Amino acid sequence: MKITTDGLVIWESKTGEADRVITLLTENGIITAYAKNSLRPKNKLTSPTSMLCFSNFELYSGTNMYTVDDAQIKHRFIKLSTDVNGYSLAAYFCELLKLLAPIEDAAEDFLSLMTNSLYLINEGKKPLFLIKSVFEMRIMCLAGYMPDIAECAECGESNSAGGFFDVTNGVFYCESCVKKSGRAVNIGAAAVSAIRHIISAEGGKIFSFDIGVASLSALKDVSEAYVCTHVDHRLPTLEFYNSLTT
């Protein structure tokens, strides 16, 4: 059976003499496909099947994976190829998508989160650590790990001046109740508000909120801790990104 779909290449590996196996993120989930001769310089598949290329694919279904029959580039995030930090962050996002996005099931929200994030990295319009935190919190929500921070998990207060986030349980405590929680981290009310925004805003608006430097630093720490706590997997791309930026 032949299908046509738009997809973002989120992983590629060499196989055979000059072939690639690629992982695509599409609106219908993750698809794995074999792209014959796509590592030969003048092959028609070479560019559209390369990492982080958004292309239209014609695919034949096979026993274990699809085979790419044809592909046309729709969009390239060109500046990423010369931006080591930005590219490394994008590779980390790809690794999270491979672990968390559904396989051959509805994934429009994952694709839109990724393309919006790549656009911002490529254009340099937001600091990388802000894009990283927003992506981390949002992908965890999409994958079923939405934190419950509308109100204090103990007393139900929703307008507390403080903000204590329990990374393990994904809940929030007010200043009065934090002693009972045991392991909640003080991230401040502004960072809690930012997380509430990231969880609930629509589309590209998730990246638009005002936050002070100290609160942004708290958000940065807590979003990464939230991913690492709930994704039970080593993340080499995160380790590499952090080695560049810290």
Chain residues that interact with Zn ion, rule: CB under 5 A: 152, 154-155, 157, 174, 177
Task: State the minimum distance, in angstroms, from the CB of residue 172 to Zn ion.
Answer: 9
Cβ pair 157, 192 in contact under 8 A: no
Under 8 Å CB-to-CB from 69, ≥6 apart: which residues?
2, 58, 59, 60
Nearer to Zn ion, 155 or 244 (CB): 155
Task: State the minimum distance, in angstroms, from the CB of residue 122 to Zn ion.
Answer: 42
Burial of 136 (0-12, 13-18, 19+ CB in 10 A): buried
Nearer to Zn ion, 31 or 174 (CB): 174
Nearer to Zn ion, 12 or 166 (CB): 166
Task: State the minimum distance, in angstroms, from the CB of residue 206 to Zn ion.
Answer: 27
Nearer to Zn ion, 174 or 194 (CB): 174
Alpha helices in the chain (DSSP H): 84-100, 108-123, 128-142, 178-181, 188-200, 213-230, 236-245
Task: State the minimum distance, in angstroms, from the CB of residue 191 to Zn ion.
Answer: 17
